[in-house]
């Protein structure tokens, strides 16, 4: 940690230990990260707003607590980025929309409050696909975020700014939202770790746009350990979120080192078969790593009578209603591609919506059934790596590798599993409802046995 640039690239756990024993100050850490943002963000466009002054104030407060022996926990003094669909009090929150370019919420979102209570240093707001309704983070109003592994490609979305920031050490961790894969797709495409927690585990008050049946908020970091440390701070009661679970947050990090030998896993065969050849090879290698950790592995296929397309009508319809309310029905400021995506929801009938609700419930039940005889499921996170930046096809159906588990509400973690043509790709680990701890434990065990998550993109050089 002698070099400032290296200081900015350490993990949350390592930084927390250094802050605890006095080897590192939050101010030095924050300055290192801010310097990296200044150097890299003009190229990557990961941040739409950097809160440098308030971040330094947060760091000074963290150092004062440390000097007095009153650190608040592992996240105290750690620089964290916030996706720009999550409210920050008095700080511009655009939701990726030009209409809201001057919008300053009166209060922090619940999850930001949780991070502040844990002592996190809030760095700024990260770029997102417009209204979080796409997977490329090619925002027509604030510009595209570029993938740090190949600047001609996108980083996934809609939490692409958060993914690019974490992958390059412009944040030690970041918040993302996941309605159809928006945490996990950028994790896959930028070579980081990203968790979609159990539905309702992290309160969503103050987060937009709202697709109640599918929305999740998750941590994005460089390792499963750091995801667990963030989740420990993020989870907790949120009485204003009607879907908030009553499960105590517990200590997700404390369970990471439990042995996984004797666990049972299932390969989601449909998703393995649908992936590109190189991703199938990397997935087979990853499965073997987990098998070598004394995990019994079989395969599971989606029942033929499931209707994920019907379930997606719910997401489209709820998204349309939510955004219609935000814009009072005037979509003239919204890019045509997003307008088209909204029209899919507007065109749905009441019958389509109700049938979709039943399809979503059926998916949850079938995934839960698959996990009755298994501790977790495995699949490639996505069927292909990052693609060149191009116009988003708004009418395309969401790829099921990610969106199925929004329908199912189960926790799903993506961790790096190697490179296809020089681009990172991810392994997805899906667990039982409310068993986020096991999902993180498996990811941690995999990362102890591999070094994919330690690779750094060339843009850092």
Say which residues have a Cβ less than 8 Å from residue 335's Cβ, sequence separation at least 6: 130, 140, 141
Please confirm, yes or no, whether 315 is among the known catalytic residues: no
Told to judge if 373 belongs to the known catalytic residues of this protein, a careful annotator would answer: no
| Nearest one of 419, 442, 445 to 429, comparing CA atoms | 442
Query: What is the sign, positive or negative, of the torsion defined by CA atoms of 222, 225, 231, 232?
Result: negative
Of the candidates 130, 111, 153, 156, the one whose C-alpha atom is nearest the C-alpha of residue 48 is 130
- Rounded Cα distance between 252 and 284, Å, is 28
Residue owning tokens 């103050």: 206
Query: Longest Cα pair distance anywhere in the chain, in angstroms?
Result: 62
Give, for 59, the enclosing helix (H) or strand (E): helix 52-67
Task: Return the axis-axis angle of helices 400-408 and 350-370, rounded to nearest 10°.
Answer: 90
Residues whose CB is less than 8 angstroms from the CB of residue 382 and which lie 6 or more positions away in sequence, other chains included: 156, 181, 184, 185, 188, 189, 275, 399, 401, 402, 425, 426
Q: How many Cβ atoms are within 10 Å of 394's Cβ, its own excluded?
A: 17
Is 99 a known active-site residue?
no
Instruction: List the catalytic residue out of 83, 193, 196, 315.
Output: 83
Q: Inter-axis angle of helices 26-44 and 12-20, to 10 degrees?
A: 150
Q: Which one is catalytic: 182, 193, 223, 322?
A: 182
Place of tokens 């979305």: 157
**Is there a cis peptide before residue 349, judged by omega within 30 degrees of 0?**
no
Question: Reduced to 3 states, what is the DSSP secondary structure of residue 129?
Answer: coil
Torsion angles phi and psi, residue 85, rounded to 5 = -120, 10
Q: Cα 171 from chain centroid?
A: 14
Q: Which of 26, 158, 379, 407 is catalytic?
A: 158
Decide if 173 contacts 80 (C-beta within 8 A): yes
Show which residues are catalytic: 83, 158, 182
């Amino acid at each position: 940690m002698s070099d400032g640039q290296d200081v900015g690239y350490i993990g949350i756990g390592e930084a927390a230990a250094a802050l605890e024993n006095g080897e590192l100050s939050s101010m030095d850490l924050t300055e290192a990260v801010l310097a990296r943002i200044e150097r890299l963000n003009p190229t990557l466009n990961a941040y739409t707003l950097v809160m440098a002054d308030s971040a330094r104030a947060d760091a000074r407060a963290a150092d004062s607590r440390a000097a007095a022996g009153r650190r608040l926990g592992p996240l105290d003094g750690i620089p964290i980025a916030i996706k720009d669909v999550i409210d920050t009090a008095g700080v511009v929150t655009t939701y990726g929309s030009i209409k809201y370019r001057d919008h300053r919420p009166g209060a922090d979102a619940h999850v930001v409050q949780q991070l502040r209570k844990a002592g996190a240093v809030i760095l700024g707001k990260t770029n997102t696909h417009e209204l979080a309704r796409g997977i490329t983070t090619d925002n027509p109003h604030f510009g595209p975020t570029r993938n740090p592994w190949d600047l001609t490609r996108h980083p996934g979305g809609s939490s692409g700014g958060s993914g690019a920031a974490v992958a390059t050490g412009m944040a030690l961790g970041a918040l993302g939202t996941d309605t159809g894969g928006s945490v996990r797709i950028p994790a896959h495409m930028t070579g980081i770790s990203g968790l979609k927690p159990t539905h309702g585990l992290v309160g969503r008050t103050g987060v937009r746009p709202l697709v109640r049946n599918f929305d999740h908020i998750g941590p994005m970091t460089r390792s499963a350990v750091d995801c667990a440390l963030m989740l420990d701070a993020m989870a907790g009661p949120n009485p204003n979120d009607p879907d908030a679970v009553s499960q105590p947050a517990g200590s997700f990090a404390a369970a990471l080192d439990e042995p996984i030998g004797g666990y049972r896993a299932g390969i989601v065969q449909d998703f393995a078969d649908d992936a590109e050849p190189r991703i199938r090879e990397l997935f087979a290698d990853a499965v073997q790593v987990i098998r070598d950790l004394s995990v019994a592995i079989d395969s599971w296929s989606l029942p033929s009578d499931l209707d994920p397309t019907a379930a997606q009508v719910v997401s489209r319809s709820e998204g349309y209603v939510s955004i219609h309310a935000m814009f009072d029905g005037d979509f003239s400021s919204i890019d045509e591609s997003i307008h088209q995506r909204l029209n899919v929801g507007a065109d749905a009938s009441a019958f389509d919506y109700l049938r979709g609700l039943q399809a979503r419930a059926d998916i949850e039940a079938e995934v839960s059934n698959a996990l009755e005889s298994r501790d977790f499921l495995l699949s490639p996170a996505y069927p292909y790596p990052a693609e060149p930046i191009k116009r988003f096809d708004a009418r395309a159906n969401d790829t099921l590798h990610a969106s199925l588990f929004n329908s199912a509400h189960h926790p799903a973690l993506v961790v790096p599993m190697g490179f296809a043509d020089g681009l990172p790709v991810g392994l997805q680990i899906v667990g039982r409802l409310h068993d986020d701890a096991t999902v993180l434990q498996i990811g941690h065990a995999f990362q102890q046995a591999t070094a994919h998550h330690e690779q750094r993109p060339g843009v850092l050089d």
